[in-house]
Each structure stands twice: as structure tokens, then as C-alpha cells.
């Protein structure tokens, strides 16, 4: 299916690794121009080079996303380079383990800033161009504790905020014909997930315990499967879909675990 994404300029935060990188690769294969936004210059440039080596298009903007001014400057760079923005994928974030009992207010606020505030900042600054292009926003969300991850007060609050903003923006931007949706990730084997699994005494056993609870095929969702959903939501093929939280997780979140 041709998603009609050729030469569409789409910003992807945290696009150099993991899910974000998977999204950029799929978008590039669809003919879009993913703009990778991140703070690690080496990782960002390597990700762009990998796409270009496949004779596909990509670009970048460097930004520490916890700094609102750098978010604004990243958007300005994209507009200066391409003259338009057709889509925004808010993806960057990390489960930083800020809990209730063992956390504190300062770290909780840092977690919100690290995982939610830049979703607003990027959307706010990209909005004028998205209004011109009648573009789309996709927010990447996540389920939080359930597999023993625990201590996720900050991350859980941020993900709840992502879902709420998705619905709120979808309603606010109806007159602009800008669609806003979210893709919710449960279990996807990213570098961060690998790092977390290695904290257990028997990581392979823990991983097997988790995948056994994923109803469809008892396996992790791949980054490409998540990216395919994101690409569809960005495309005109989903032009009457907005305000939705799409779970790409093999039934993990909603199907009865008794099935497994």
C-alpha cells in the first residue's frame, strides 16, 4: 500500500535508536523525509547516514529536549531547511525509575520534564507549519509497571499525560484538520529494554516469563511493527482517524492473560 508519504517532512524525536529509529527507517522506505531530533550528535548522524546509504532521505536537528529553547530551535532548523513540516512523532523518553516511597518531588518533576514536557514544546512550535500542511501528530506512549518494573511514578504520570494530550489536541485541532493519535507500546525489545532485563539475576528466564504473557505468538512486538502503525497514522490513508490510542502489543494490554 502506498501511504502517500513521499517527500513528507516528519520530525521524530529520539529517532536515532530503538523505536524512534525503527519509525525513521519505515518512513524513509515510504519515501518520507524523517528528521531525527536528539542530543547525541554521533548517534543522530550515524542514524541519518544509515538511511542515506539506502538511497533514502533523512535529516537531523540536535536538541536536548528538556530545554524548551532547544526544542524551538530544532523546529526552526527544520523549517529553514525544508520550508514545511508535515508530521510530528513525539517519541523520546525513558523510564527513569522515580517512585513514590523512594523518590522525591524534585526528581518527579524532572521525570515529567524528561518524558512529557517536550511533547508539548515540540507540538507547540511545529503547530504553525502543521496547520499549513494539515499534518498529523503521533505521540508514542507506553504502559508502565506490570512486569516488575515498579518505581515508575514519574514515567506513569508522563504516559498518562501523553494520552490526555493526545485526546485534548485532537479535539482542539479539529478546525485545523490536524489529526492527533497515539501508539501505545507494551513490550518491545529496545536497547533500553535490554538494559533493564540485564538487571535481573536470570535475564533470559525473566524475558521468557514476560513473552509468555503476550497472547499473540508469545513474543515481543518489533520496532518495525510499531513503526508501521505510526506511518499509517501519519498518512492520508488514515485521514478520518483522530484522538485514538492504538495499542500495538500483541494483545498484551487488553486480552485476558488466562488465554496464555
* 18 torsion bin: left (phi>0), alpha (psi -120 to 50), beta (else): left
Cβ atoms of 4 and 236 closer than 8 Å: yes
CA atoms within 13 A on the CB side of 247: 12
Annotated catalytic, 60?
Answer: no
Q: Among residues 155, 193, 247, 252, which one is catalytic?
A: 155
* Orientation of helix 223-234 relative to helix 18-29, angle to 10°: 50
Using alpha carbons, select from 87, 93, 172 the residue that is nearest to residue 126: 87
* 36 torsion bin: left (phi>0), alpha (psi -120 to 50), beta (else): beta
* Distance, first Cα to last Cα, the chain: 33
Cβ atoms of 124 and 168 closer than 8 Å: no
What residues are labeled active site? 155
Amino acid at each position: 500500500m502506498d501511504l502517500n508519504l513521499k517527500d513528507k517532512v516528519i520530525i521524530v524525536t529520539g529517532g536515532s535508536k530503538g523505536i524512534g529509529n525503527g519509525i525513521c527507517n519505515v518512513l524513509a522506505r515510504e519515501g518520507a523525509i524523517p528528521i531525527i531530533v536528539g542530543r547525541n550528535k554521533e548517534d543522530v548522524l550515524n542514524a541519518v547516514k544509515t538511511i542515506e546509504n539506502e538511497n533514502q532521505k533523512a535529516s537531523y536537528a540536535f536538541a536536548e529536549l528538556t530545554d524548551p529553547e532547544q526544542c524551538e530551535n530544532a523546529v526552526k532548523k527544520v523549517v529553514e531547511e525544508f520550508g514545511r513540516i508535515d508530521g510530528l512523532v513525539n517519541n523520546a523518553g525513558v523510564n527513569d525509575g522515580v517512585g513514590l516511597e523512594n523518590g522525591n518531588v524534585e526528581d518527579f518533576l524532572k521525570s515529567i520534564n524528561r518524558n512529557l514536557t517536550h511533547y508539548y514544546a515540540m507540538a507547540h512550535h511545529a503547530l504553525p507549519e502543521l496547520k499549513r500542511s494539515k499534518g498529523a501528530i503521533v505521540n508514542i506512549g507506553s504502559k508502565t509497571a506490570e512486569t516488575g518494573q515498579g518505581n515508575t511514578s514519574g514515567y506513569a504520570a508522563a504516559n498518562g499525560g501523553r494520552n490526555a494530550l493526545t485526546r485534548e489536541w485532537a479535539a482542539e485541532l479539529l478546525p485545523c484538520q490536524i489529526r492527533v493519535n497515539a501508539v501505545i507500546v507494551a513490550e518491545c525489545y529496545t536497547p533500553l529494554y535490554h538494559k533493564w532485563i540485564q538487571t535481573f539475576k536470570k535475564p533470559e528466564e525473566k524475558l521468557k516469563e514476560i513473552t509468555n504473557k503476550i497472547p499473540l505468538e508469545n513474543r515481543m512486538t518489533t520496532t518495525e511493527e510499531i513503526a508501521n502503525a505510526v506511518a499509517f497514522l501519519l498518512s492520508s490513508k488514515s485521514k478520518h482517524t483522530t484522538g485514538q490510542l492504538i495499542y500495538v502489543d500483541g494483545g498484551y494490554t487488553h486480552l485476558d492473560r488466562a488465554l496464555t
